[in-house]
Amino acid sequence: MNTVLIIFIMIIIGALIGGVTNFLAIKMLFRPYEVVYIGNWRLPFTPGLIPKRRAELAEQLGRVVTEYLVTSDALENKVLEKDFQQKIIAMIHSQIDELIDKEYTVLELIQKIHPEFEVEELEQHVEEMVSGKLKNLYEKNKNKPISELLPEDLLVVIEEQLPHFTTYVINQIEQYLTSEEGKHKISESASKFLQSQGFLGNMVSSYLGENGLAEKITPAITMFLSSEETHQSVEKLLKKEWLKFKEKDVESVRELFNQNDLEESLAAFITKELNVKTYLDQPVGQLLESKLDLIKNEWIPKIVQLAFQKLSTQMSALLEQLNLFELVKKEVETFDVSRIERLVLEITKKEMNMITYLGALLGGIIGFIQGLIVLFIA
């Protein structure tokens, strides 16, 4: 009975020693987190292995990540994968659909990005930009003739339209002269003219009366305007003036307006006609409605493809600027050791317990062998 008891006690002691030793060894990988001193004497094996070697671990992890895991070649291949690009396209489509479903206006969307944005500031910026462009355009071309600035096609069209413009001008004059206002003006002018001609003029004016003067003069003027000779003369005059005008330089034409702030006035007019606020108050979906399918099915895939192709050619430079090695190293060095411990033990909990149990088993076997040796020696 004493023999069995001795062997049993030896097994229990061996198992405890083996299990506790392995348990402490596992704990000593992480603990203590800091150096422990007793007075001025530093306690051996403090801090634990991983806290003690954290700087070396951080450097090695940095090298592993940058040299084997996150390489420029791997990232280049990833961004050029069709599946990856399709996922990015699908994500962009989702974001567009969300904007449309929520009926955001263009102004609301801009203010999400730039909360201080004001429409008046944009209008002022547009006006200043247009004014600046007009001034630069004038300074650059002020010594050039109009014929050099206007497109050749436009010059041809203008010259082809001159006969039609002649007809339009004559018709407008004729319509005015045959109107009540025109007849009144003719009568008034004729009456003033006859009154200035002395007795004979007054006599004719009194005989015909104002209305009679208009009725006599208007048909003659209308006949004159309707004649082919008049049409040819006016057309010839317009062509002559057009030839003179298109050979003038821009500075001469600019002086005709006799206005120092012409560019500012034009810019204000253009900005007002653009009516930027109307576009900003429209929902994004309404503004893009006619182009939405084109944007989603053609523009976005092309933009994503071109962007990633460009990105792939710059991946080495990007990683160099990112300095991934230092980034990983710094993160690991500042990582909480207790958190590392929790993560490792959560992942390897079963294996760590098995190591502890194996230590206890081996300790128990050793204790059993020791018990047998003690019995044989005794």
DSSP secondary structure string for all residues of 33-56 = SS--EETTEEPTT-S-HHHHTHHH
pLDDT per residue as tens digits for the range 297-312: 899 999 999 999 998 8
When pLDDT is cut at 50, 70 and 90, the band that residue 75 belongs to is confident
pLDDT per residue as tens digits for the range 344-353: 777 777 888 8
Q: What is the pLDDT of residue 8?
A: 84
Residue ranges with strand state E in the chain: 37-38, 41-42
Given a cut of 70, whether residue 216 has pLDDT beyond it is no
Residue in the block written with tokens 């120092």:
260
Phi-psi region of 140 (alpha: psi -120 to 50; beta: other; left: phi over 0): alpha
| Token couple for 272 | 């007002």
Q: What percent of the chain has pLDDT over 90?
A: 5
- CA–CA separation, 282 vs 295, rounded Å? 18
Regarding predicted confidence, which is higher, 342 or 97? 97
Q: What is the pLDDT of residue 200?
A: 47
Residue closest to 363 by CA, chosen among 371, 352, 353, 373: 371
Regarding predicted confidence, which is higher, 79 or 4? 79
pLDDT per residue as tens digits for the range 10-50: 888 888 988 888 888 888 877 777 777 787 877 777 777 77
Regarding predicted confidence, which is higher, 118 or 207? 118
Q: What is the pLDDT of residue 204?
A: 47
Q: What is the pLDDT of residue 215?
A: 67
| Distinct helix (H) and strand (E) counts, the chain | 21, 2
pTM above 0.85?
Answer: no
Residue closest to 242 by CA, chosen among 142, 164, 155: 155
- CA–CA separation, 261 vs 266, rounded Å? 9
DSSP letter (8 states) at residue 1: -
As a whole number, mean pLDDT of residues 287-301 equals 86
When pLDDT is cut at 50, 70 and 90, the band that residue 378 belongs to is low
Q: What is the pLDDT of residue 213?
A: 57
Q: What is the pLDDT of residue 104?
A: 85
pLDDT per residue as tens digits for the range 240-258: 888 888 888 888 888 877 7
Regarding predicted confidence, which is higher, 186 or 231? 231
Q: What is the pLDDT of residue 214?
A: 59
Cα diameter, the chain: 173
Regarding predicted confidence, which is higher, 213 or 285? 285
When pLDDT is cut at 50, 70 and 90, the band that residue 322 belongs to is confident
Radius of gyration of the chain (CA): 48
